[in-house]
Amino acid sequence: MNFMWLKFAVQNTLRNRRRSMVTVSIAALGTAGILLAGGFALYTYESLAEAAARDTGHLVLGQPAQFTQDEETPLQHGIDNATALRQQLLADPNVRSVLPKIEFSGLISNGDKSVVMVGLGVEPDSEFAIKGPFMTVKAGQVLASGSTEPEVMLGDVLARNLKAQPGSSLTLLASTTEGALNAMDVRVKGIFSIGIPEIDKRLIYADIATTQRLLNTQKVSTLGVYLNRMAQTQPMQAQVAQAHPELTVQTWEDQALFYKAVRNLYNRIFGALGMIIAVIVVFVVTNAMSMAIIERTREIGTLRALGTLPGQMLRTLSLEGMVLGGVGALVGALIALAGSAFLLVVPIDMPPPPGRSVGYPLNVTVDPMMFLVTILTMVLLTMAASAWVARKTVNMAVVDALAHT
């Protein structure tokens, strides 16, 4: 019986092919728009999450004051047993690597000009191998351990300001942990860009040993813990926090302010866009069904006179909406899949976002759950819209329906 009513619904939608085609086309375009926009948002979230975890580590360990208070002297809230703590963390099979980091600031000079710098002390052999391509080397080479003299890497804007090239000699000036000033001559090993001009204007990289000699300390600011899989982040946070209660253990998301801001913005933008598209599709289906019901009022009255119950009429008219919305949603899903595949075959780059100097690839994530939820939502909305516009006519008195003109 259910198949018979569905068959009637399909046949009724084919009675006015042009109107049905327009309705299905709008539903398809709306569904494709929602899926492509949602897929782009998901791809953006995944890319930013991976970039944030690659930059800081899945977990970040530090003294509690490191995350809540400003330091009066360099590394005031640093970790002083970093080597032993690192070995303990590396003993866990879920931990891929542990990278120490020192954050410092000061001046960098070429002898004629001094510029404010923001420095990062890293372990070079692990830093650039674990993090992957997080920067673009414009000239020279990345840092490596075993150098006979202190070396640094400069942001490209900073290098231009200092007229520095690979091999140039510069001087670093910074406050030590005791508050005294210390200077160190260094050689430029490479020039890089991370794609943010404001950061490239100040940032330098130095190895941990050079940084600790400059600051006269053995401490590090934080330890970044890199796990084998992103899904291990929350369980490992609880495990490490329990093993080291004297430290604060944050996740990459706690550190990723840009990721949170973009996610909140995109959720609002694409959420509003999806609602607008859904409303348009519902109105189009409602309009198509209203016209169909008006044209068939006498036919509905005849069927009622022959014994068809109002519930049965409402069911078949709702099925007509389901057919229109369902076919449109399926076609839209196919369009979205084709668009996603096209972007993989033919790479397209987005223009640089505000504050950055490099663009990023335009890709769309295909999420089965998002596809399923979107298709079901479209079907349910179109069925509800059809039932709503049909409720008055199917409950009309048979005499009035037969006399309708």
Domain-embedded: residue 57: no
Distance CA 242, CA 374 (A): 41
Last residue of a domain, one of 206, 223, 246: 246
**Residue that is written with structure tokens 């069911």 in the block:** 315
Domain-embedded: residue 58: no
Same-domain status, 241 and 164 = yes
The answer to whether 209 touches 220, Cβ cutoff 8 Å, is no
Domain-embedded: residue 367: yes
Same-domain status, 354 and 215 = no
User: Quick one: pLDDT at residue 251?
Assistant: 92
Same-domain status, 237 and 208 = yes
Same-domain status, 223 and 132 = yes
Last residue of a domain, one of 212, 246, 280: 246
Domain-embedded: residue 11: yes
Domain-embedded: residue 351: yes
pLDDT string in tens for the chain (405-residue length): 467 777 777 777 777 788 888 888 988 998 999 999 999 999 989 888 888 888 888 999 999 988 888 888 888 888 988 889 999 999 989 999 999 999 999 999 988 898 999 999 998 888 877 776 777 888 888 888 877 789 999 999 999 999 999 999 999 999 988 888 899 999 999 999 888 888 889 999 999 989 999 999 899 999 999 999 988 999 999 999 998 899 999 999 888 888 888 889 888 988 888 888 888 888 888 887 777 777 777 777 777 787 777 777 778 788 888 888 889 999 999 999 999 999 888 888 888 777 676 777 888 989 999 999 999 988 888 888 888 887 777 777 777 667 666
User: Quick one: pLDDT at residue 405?
Assistant: 61
**List of E strands, 141-293:** 151-155, 169-175, 181-193, 203-207, 222-227, 248-251
> How many domains is the chain built from?
2
Q: Could you please report the per-residue DSSP string of 249-290?
A: EEEHHHH-HHHHHHHHHHHHHHHHHHHHHHHHHHHHHHHHHH
What amino acid is encoded at 43 in this protein?
Y
Same-domain status, 187 and 275 = no
The answer to whether 225 touches 239, Cβ cutoff 8 Å, is no
Same-domain status, 206 and 288 = no
Same-domain status, 109 and 195 = yes
CA distances from 23 to 26, 275, 392 (A): 5, 18, 22
Instruction: List the beta bridge partners of residue 185.
Output: 171
Domain-embedded: residue 40: yes
Torsion of CA 49, 50, 55, 56, to 10 degrees: 60
Domain enclosing residue 200, as ranges: 64-246
Last residue of a domain, one of 196, 215, 246: 246
Q: For 4-31, what is the HEC assignment?
A: HHHHHHHHHHCCCHHHHHHHHHHHHHHH
Distance CA 181, CA 337 (A): 60
Same-domain status, 203 and 265 = no
Same-domain status, 26 and 75 = no
Domain-embedded: residue 89: yes
